[in-house]
Structure 1
Amino acid sequence: MDFPQKPLSQLLGSNGPVHAVSYSASPGTYILTGSADRSIRLYNPSPSATATTAAGRPSSLSSLPLPEGRLIQTYSAHGYEVLSLAVAVDNKTFVSGGGDRAVFLWDVSTAQTLRRFGSSAHGHSGRINAVAFGGAGDSLVVSAGLDTTVRVWDTKSGGAGANKPVQVLANARDAVTSLVVGGSGGAEIIAGSVDGRVRSYDVRMGRVTTDVLGASVTSLCMARDAKTMLVGSLDSKVRLLDRSTGACLRTYADAGWRNEELRVQSVLGGKERFVVAGDEMTTAAAAAKDAPSSHMPTAKITTPAVTATADKNEGRLWAWDLLTGKLVAKIAVPWGGIGGTDSRKRIVGRDGVEKARKNVVSCLAWKEGGFGNQFCVGGTSGVVTVFGES
């Protein structure tokens, strides 16, 4: 099986960087995106028609812009950027979190919020970096953020205690960046933190297991059998950990790949044959580097901003073979999408010179939890590109 890197469509409409993407639950027909413009958008990634030339013949991607996916719905309630999304198994609801310290539970069909968690003194005191569903029947929502805590909310509770978390996990010494919920009945919570630790909580047993990486953790992705965990960190490495022993089974890296400052996501894909990661550098920025950086990564994780001095603005996407660690693909992701479409307004400084733009590819999702036939990537350009099989 070759890595599926054919561009299929692009999702337009965001007025700022896209910080979160998520497929709907199986069969993964739709894609949700969360943006710095405070909005969440629901798309059907399949274009409404095949792109054709003026003569009516099918066109290659080099001659026409990539077809656009269909915008189905826009969800608006957040007061700041949206940083994380999770979809319930029944596809009827989803949850979001972001810079306004609030967790929203949404009804997909009505585009209305069903619950808002964290709007009182019992909520997060900083931005929310990650959200997930948990518990039997997705009855719980889990959130984690800059305030170093993981909070568990009961979606079924009412009355005076409706806005209080049922549990607060406060072991982290720095911001919690990423979450995975698994185990029987969704009773296991795994949290990655800037303090360089991955903590696995057995909620039922009241036990926590800690794996020490040293470098700040930016991303978590658990294999379907729950035996291994993919961990991205701010030392330009992605590691595959054995969950029973904490041992590092394989490290994925490249001299040209960078993840030292920004929150860049990595996932398992292609029926867990591949490790796929975004990149905080662009083609031009990478070319300017004569050698890998030797300075230690900072402990501060930020979301990418639309600033750069590079002449070229292509983002980069990397893929490694899971078993061998060999690099199998490196894909350029242009600012305006494949084919040259650029729906975003250009920014001109006071000196009248257009500001250079840097397409950091920071978020990605693979259909059906890594077992589907396509994946999507987003970043600072605000364009989400969908890739799949030829």
Structure 2
Amino acid sequence: MIHFLAFSPDGKTLISAAADGSLRTWDSTTGKQKTVNYTETPTVALRPDGKILATHNSYDQITLWDVATLKQIAVFGHHDSIISIAYSQDGQRIVSGGADNIVNLWDVSSKPSLIASFTGHTDEIRSVTFCQDNNHFVSASADGTARFWDASSNQPIAIFKEHTKAINQVSCSPDGKIIATAGEDSVIKLWEIDQSQPAKYQLINTLTGHKAGITTIVFSPDGTKLVSGSDDKQIKVWDISTGKELASWTGSVGAIAALTFSQNGKVLASGGSYDDPSIKLWDFTSVNTNPGKVTTEPQPFVEMAGHHEAVVAVTQSSDNKTFAVATRQKITIRNLNAPEKIVTTLQNTSSEYLLDLSYSPDGKVLASAGTSQTIHLWDPASGKLLATLQGHHQIINALAFSFDSKMLASAGFDRTVKIWDVASGKELKTLQIAENSYALKIAFSPDGKTLATTHNNNSIQVWDVQTGQLKTILKDLTNIPYAVAFSPDGKLLANDVSLTGISLWDTQNYKMVGVLSNTTSLSEGLIFTSDSKLLFSFGLDNTIKLWDVNNRKNIFSTSEEDTGGITSAALSKDGKTLISGHVDGSIKFWEVITS
């Protein structure tokens, strides 16, 4: 899925970001890829001068990148998962909004700092944009409203309430006079703003024609037209002055996920969703905008393929015969001896995007979860859905089975961790996370009595599973901890702290007893061997590292180029094979030789 598209000011380069975790730059004339970096970039904004990119990752960090080299310039934090970010016209400020329902305004003129936070939305913020100048901006929310803000006040100047469902996108016309909002109700609303008195506004038109939720909208550079993309696969062009539909064509085999114009307005770029994560360039000057004239559908003059459907999770059965792979919208169970052979495809009937997948240690149950806020339990042998567990109220981002397969833990953006009885599907306990954080990863101790959770507020929390009480908090870490794992002998807890190293904790007193410091990026996962003597780490730097736990040494590291970061890995029960899943959609098999 293409999350973001933007042309450089000279129109020669197109920048894209997608669900495969990659940032790419392209030659907009030839369609050839120029640079690529794997960063986990669901949210992106381009500074108006085209020199700096701002991205957000799943660790609640905003990163600034040099566009020419795709090298990091600065990293700064956030309170919760960001969904949308935008630059001010002078490039000195960034506005962000996300799952915490809060709009944040940042000064990025030098060292990034938070200017102010704006509250009022009652659901996640899906889109933000500056409008008119560097002090006014608009936020659109799943609560069905959009709010127009002045940076000098904590109260909205105006609240737009006419949508009947979530608003997915907001855009401001180049002259700042028109605000367009589009959402799940399949309509676009145009609001006229009195620039001398912004509190005075009126709804001037409602644009109808799409047959499904609208995912993206963009004004033409001259402000006379609006282009929209939708889950109905259509790209539509609208006349701003009349509200009439001027043109419509099929832009993808799936939903349209992103749209952008070149600055001269001659080229329109579109990006597809998971069904077709390609980028297409359209000659907008040749698009017929005369509704009375019948013509054939426009054809793209350049198509760019390079973004892939990333592997979200890989997990292996206990009998060493099968392994399961999850991409954003599909789960397949494959034969370990013939990996290209799909044994079963699990029918994900919901529209969710998958975020985690886990085999029970006994191999009898496969659990999946994601944006649908529910957990699905599957019979991996038959592919049948065994149960659907409901209880979370936001995205579920992590799953973990207890070693005896009797319990399942789940972590969500609703700031809860839930413990479930696998056999009955009943919720056993809810662990309430503090308001300023949520759990990133979770792990059971081998005896099932303790659960460890890592958090975006630079802490690790250790819980008593039976009582649901917090046993201890490992805090004041230098950065955000992510991956976490107990050693099979129960003596150590390992976790990776962003750009610092892998910390080892004694589970008797939870004192740090060692650090594996030879790390270059944050690990997506940690896996102990069955004898607890060795530890695998892997991450978006596309390397797998093998560590000698007792001697605190890195004894082996893989080195592969241009295959994309590693999102997930699984170790066979006999410890002889490691399977890795990558953001470029590839799956790799590694022979483990420890002698």
Shorter-chain TM-score range: 0.5 to 0.7
What is the aligned partner in structure 1 of residue 45 from structure 2?
Answer: 22
Tell me if the contact between 1:150 and 1:170 (Cα under 8 Å) persists in the aligned partners: yes
Q: What is the alpha-carbon distance in structure 1 between the residues aligned to residue 265 and residue 94 of structure 2?
A: 25
**Equivalent position to 1:139, from 135, 138, 158:** 135
What TM-score comes out, normalization by structure 2 length? 0.45
Q: What is the alpha-carbon distance in structure 2 between the residues aligned to residue 146 and residue 349 of structure 1?
A: 40
In 2 relative to 1, CA 253–274 (structure 1 residues): closer, same or farther, beyond 3 Å? farther
Tell me if the contact between 2:567 and 2:582 (Cα under 8 Å) persists in the aligned partners: no
Q: Cα offset for 1:358?
A: 7.0
Specify the SS of the correspondent of 1:265: strand
Matching of residue 230 in structure 1 with residue 227 in structure 2: yes
**Equivalent position to 1:156, from 152, 155, 166:** 152
Q: What is the alpha-carbon distance in structure 2 between the residues aligned to residue 196 and residue 44 of structure 1?
A: 37
Tell me if the contact between 1:11 and 1:43 (Cα under 8 Å) persists in the aligned partners: no
Q: What is the alpha-carbon distance in structure 2 between the residues aligned to residue 349 and residue 97 of structure 1?
A: 38
Structure 2 unaligned runs (5+)? Answer: 1-11, 13-27, 195-199, 288-297, 311-541, 543-560, 586-595
In 2 relative to 1, CA 269–144 (structure 1 residues): closer, same or farther, beyond 3 Å? same
**Equivalent position to 2:239, from 238, 242, 245:** 242
What is the aligned partner in structure 2 of residue 84 from structure 1?
Answer: 84
Q: Cα offset for 1:359?
A: 6.2
**Cα deviation code 1:76-111 (max 9, x no counterpart):** 11312x211111112111111111211110111221
Q: What is the alpha-carbon distance in structure 2 between the residues aligned to residue 206 and residue 166 of structure 1?
A: 10
**Cα deviation code 1:228-255 (max 9, x no counterpart):** 111011100111111122222222325x
Matching of residue 207 in structure 1 with residue 169 in structure 2: no
Matching of residue 269 in structure 1 with residue 295 in structure 2: no
Matching of residue 173 in structure 1 with residue 164 in structure 2: yes
What is the aligned partner in structure 2 of residue 294 from structure 1?
Answer: none
Tell me if the contact between 1:143 and 1:152 (Cα under 8 Å) persists in the aligned partners: yes
Structure 1 unaligned runs (5+)? Answer: 48-68, 287-314, 361-390
Specify the SS of the correspondent of 1:264: strand
Matching of residue 251 in structure 1 with residue 248 in structure 2: yes
In 2 relative to 1, CA 111–239 (structure 1 residues): closer, same or farther, beyond 3 Å? same
**Equivalent position to 2:566, from 344, 356, 368:** 344
Matching of residue 326 in structure 1 with residue 299 in structure 2: yes
**Cα deviation code 1:112-169 (max 9, x no counterpart):** 1101111xxxx1111100011124x322221011000001222013xxxx3x222211
Q: What is the alpha-carbon distance in structure 2 between the residues aligned to residue 350 and residue 233 of structure 1?
A: 42
Amino acid corresponding to residue 179 of structure 2 in structure 1: I
Q: What is the alpha-carbon distance in structure 2 between the residues aligned to residue 218 and residue 128 of structure 1?
A: 14
Specify the SS of the correspondent of 1:166: strand
Q: What is the alpha-carbon distance in structure 1 between the residues aligned to residue 87 and residue 47 of structure 2?
A: 6
Tell me if the contact between 2:188 and 2:207 (Cα under 8 Å) persists in the aligned partners: yes
**Equivalent position to 1:31, from 39, 48, 53:** 53
Which has more strand, going by share of residues? 2
What is the aligned partner in structure 2 of residue 102 from structure 1?
Answer: 102
Tell me if the contact between 2:169 and 2:215 (Cα under 8 Å) persists in the aligned partners: yes
Tell me if the contact between 2:97 and 2:126 (Cα under 8 Å) persists in the aligned partners: yes
Q: What is the alpha-carbon distance in structure 1 between the residues aligned to residue 206 and residue 572 of structure 2?
A: 50
Q: Cα offset for 1:175?
A: 0.6
Q: What is the alpha-carbon distance in structure 1 between the residues aligned to residue 47 and residue 229 of structure 2?
A: 23
Amino acid corresponding to residue 10 of structure 1 in structure 2: V
Q: What is the alpha-carbon distance in structure 1 between the residues aligned to residue 249 and residue 268 of structure 2?
A: 8
**Equivalent position to 2:278, from 316, 324, 330:** 316
Q: What is the alpha-carbon distance in structure 2 between the residues aligned to residue 89 and residue 270 of structure 1?
A: 14
Tell me if the contact between 1:252 and 1:320 (Cα under 8 Å) persists in the aligned partners: no
Specify the SS of the correspondent of 1:11: strand
Tell me if the contact between 2:565 and 2:582 (Cα under 8 Å) persists in the aligned partners: no
In 2 relative to 1, CA 191–349 (structure 1 residues): closer, same or farther, beyond 3 Å? farther
Identity %: 21
What is the aligned partner in structure 1 of residue 66 from structure 2?
Answer: 44
Q: What is the alpha-carbon distance in structure 2 between the residues aligned to residue 219 and residue 194 of structure 1?
A: 11
Tell me if the contact between 2:121 and 2:143 (Cα under 8 Å) persists in the aligned partners: yes
Tell me if the contact between 1:230 and 1:268 (Cα under 8 Å) persists in the aligned partners: no
Which has more helix, going by share of residues? 1
**Cα deviation code 1:310-356 (max 9, x no counterpart):** xxxxx42222222242122222224599x724233434399888586
Amino acid corresponding to residue 206 of structure 1 in structure 2: Y
Which stretch of structure 1 is more off in the superposition, 318-327 or 210-219?
318-327
**Equivalent position to 1:3, from 16, 29, 39:** 29
Amino acid corresponding to residue 320 of structure 1 in structure 2: W
What TM-score comes out, normalization by structure 1 length? 0.67
Tell me if the contact between 1:3 and 1:270 (Cα under 8 Å) persists in the aligned partners: no
Specify the SS of the correspondent of 2:79: coil
What is the aligned partner in structure 1 of residue 327 from structure 2?
Answer: none
| Highest RCO, 1 vs 2 (Cα 8 Å, sep ≥ 6) | 1
**Cα deviation code 1:350-383 (max 9, x no counterpart):** 98885866769xxxxxxxxxxxxxxxxxxxxxxx
Q: What is the alpha-carbon distance in structure 2 between the residues aligned to residue 250 and residue 350 of structure 1?
A: 55
Q: What is the alpha-carbon distance in structure 2 between the residues aligned to residue 170 and residue 359 of structure 1?
A: 41
Q: What is the alpha-carbon distance in structure 2 between the residues aligned to residue 33 and residue 238 of structure 1?
A: 26
Q: What is the alpha-carbon distance in structure 1 between the residues aligned to residue 93 and residue 192 of structure 2?
A: 25
Specify the SS of the correspondent of 1:46: coil
Q: What is the alpha-carbon distance in structure 1 between the residues aligned to residue 64 and residue 235 of structure 2?
A: 30
Q: What is the alpha-carbon distance in structure 1 between the residues aligned to residue 45 and residue 572 of structure 2?
A: 38
Tell me if the contact between 1:190 and 1:200 (Cα under 8 Å) persists in the aligned partners: yes
Amino acid corresponding to residue 237 of structure 2 in structure 1: L
Tell me if the contact between 2:172 and 2:219 (Cα under 8 Å) persists in the aligned partners: no
Tell me if the contact between 1:129 and 1:178 (Cα under 8 Å) persists in the aligned partners: yes
Specify the SS of the correspondent of 2:42: strand
Tell me if the contact between 1:20 and 1:84 (Cα under 8 Å) persists in the aligned partners: yes
Q: What is the alpha-carbon distance in structure 1 between the residues aligned to residue 140 and residue 50 of structure 2?
A: 25
Specify the SS of the correspondent of 2:156: coil
Q: What is the alpha-carbon distance in structure 1 between the residues aligned to residue 565 and residue 111 of structure 2?
A: 28
Q: Cα offset for 1:40?
A: 1.4
Q: What is the alpha-carbon distance in structure 1 between the residues aligned to residue 582 and residue 184 of structure 2?
A: 27
Q: What is the alpha-carbon distance in structure 2 between the residues aligned to residue 333 and residue 103 of structure 1?
A: 33
Q: Cα offset for 1:207?
A: 1.7
Tell me if the contact between 1:86 and 1:96 (Cα under 8 Å) persists in the aligned partners: yes
Tell me if the contact between 1:23 and 1:30 (Cα under 8 Å) persists in the aligned partners: yes
Structure of higher CA gyration radius: 2
Matching of residue 194 in structure 1 with residue 192 in structure 2: no
Q: What is the alpha-carbon distance in structure 1 between the residues aligned to residue 146 and residue 263 of structure 2?
A: 30
In 2 relative to 1, CA 4–113 (structure 1 residues): closer, same or farther, beyond 3 Å? farther
